Amino acid sequence: MNYVQAVQEIAKAAPEIHSELRKCSTQNAYELIRIFMVQIRKVAGENEPNLLLSYLKKMNKIYKNGDTTIRNALEHTFIYSLDNVATFCNEECKKVIFNTISLDLRQIYSRQIYTSGM
């Protein structure tokens, strides 16, 4: 999955951010994931577990099928922000987050969390 395909997938999952996605003047995978992450943070903060589940499943799909650029952006932007998102949501949403993200993403998250304190 390349940048254009990832934009299409995200726009299908979160049509409310479609106009913001179109504003991106360059095909920047990091900006794309950042925009989607802002939306994920919003629904987590509003304690909307069903919508959060849908977004996280989409993120898993993008990671699984993404090209190297998309995967790197996801690993660095999404995973880096995940702890912040989990901090500000209720327990139900935390469970949704950590039960939904793929094993690969959980391992990257764990590695990032445990090595950042060293």
- pLDDT one-digit tens code per residue, 46-71: 999 999 999 999 999 999 999 999 99
CA distances from 96 to 42, 43, 100 (A): 15, 12, 6
Amino acid at 115: T
What dihedral angle (degrees, nearest 10) is formed by the CA atoms of 24, 1, 38, 28? -30
Give the predicted TM-score (pTM) of the model. 0.88
Handedness of CA 85, 91, 96, 101 (dihedral sign): positive
Return d(Cα 31, Cα 45) in angstroms, integer. Answer: 21
Looking at residue 118, its pLDDT comes to 52
Per-chain mean pLDDT for the chain:
91
